[in-house]
Amino acid sequence: MHKTKVISLFSGCGGADLGLLGGFKYISNHYKKLPYEIIHASDINDKAIKTYQSNFEHLAEVIDIKDLSFKDVNADLVIGGFPCQPFSTVNPTKQPHKKESQLFWEMARIIDEVKPKAFIAENVKGFYRLKKGYYFNLACEEFKSLGYTIYHSLLNSSDFGVPQKRERIFIVGIRNDIKKTFTFPNITHGDTLGLKKKVPIKKIVKSLWPDDPKYFFSKKAVEGVKRAKPNMKRALAQDLEGQCLTITSHLAKVSLNSRDPVLLVDAEKELYRRFSTKEAAGIQSFPESFKFAGSDGDAYRQIGNAIPPVLMWHIASSLSEVFEDKKEDCKEHEVFSLNNVYIS
């Protein structure tokens, strides 16, 4: 079977790459192998790459994307979740006006060098909405100028069997000469008749009581929350019967005064705890077999910055049809599904 050759940029610990390759089990579902082969994976974070190397057979490289060149490399697909900090809605120090912080320019440079048949770019919702979509449209126009038809969709991980409310914008480009359209995957979980029920946190968190007391917040932290202004969202205890708020890289912090999800173990005794790294990874849809290198803090950061493997699997599965050799009868830019947006 022919495999689509892939360059993975900003690969981090490998969430997107795992989803792209498939062949893993999550909760009670098996996500079959997909016809992709990663010929390059890299990230500037050496600790994330150590985790990557612990979980994949192919090599990954620690390197700044600005130092990468692929002028003589043949690849069919380029993927990358370019760093989102400048566009994050929870980052008060963001400076998206600085071009050096907008790494989609570097991703576009590599796409122009390689000229793959397709690419997948991912970022936070803030990138899509910030300044009335200015930066998002800027990126899409750049990708279009390179010769790609652009599709985008704001996807929520909880709609695809992940126990987490995590909205991210995905941009998919198909090279114009390929003459094929792309359709984002239909949601698999929700309240609509015929869909599976959304996956609750309890599928991952089996008990409110942790295995290690180190995950409890101190009394001082709880008292700090009490002194917080009433309008501030703090100590966001999660309902195990529902979906978790977005897992971020901040879970290593010891303060309850943050917008990250926590667990209320005992209301009367005011016992709160953070998620363990294993629980956080599970909520991000990493299989239990996935191992993280480094400290707990390193693991939290890698997990929070990752693309959920299950969500990526669904996107990659839909995109695999673009690489099939069979002729397509439909006209270019024909009818799309409701969650598929084409930018003319």
Identify the bridge partners of residue 78 per DSSP, sorted by sequence position. Answer: 7, 119
Is residue 84 part of the annotated active site? The answer reads: yes
Residue bearing tokens 């673009």? 322
CA distance 12 to 46: 9
CA distance 102 to 109: 12
Q: Among 84, 140, 244, 330, which one carries the catalytic annotation? A: 84
Cβ atoms of residues 65 and 42 within 8 Å: yes
Q: 118-124 and 167-175: which strand pairing? A: antiparallel
Write out the DSSP string of 178-235: G-----PPPP-BSSSTTSBPPPPGGGT---SS-SSGGGBPPHHHHHHHHTS-TTS--S
| Whole-number Cα distances in Å, 124 to 52, 90, 146, 248, 328 | 22, 11, 23, 11, 33
Residues 6+ apart with CB under 8 A from 286: 15, 18, 26, 303, 306, 309
CA distance 120 to 243: 26
Residue of 160, 161, 143 whose CA lies nearest to 152: 143
Helix, strand, coil abundance in the chain, percent, nearest 5: 35, 20, 45
| Whole-number Cα distances in Å, 310 to 1, 33, 61, 293 | 23, 12, 24, 21
User: So which residues are the catalytic ones?
Assistant: 84
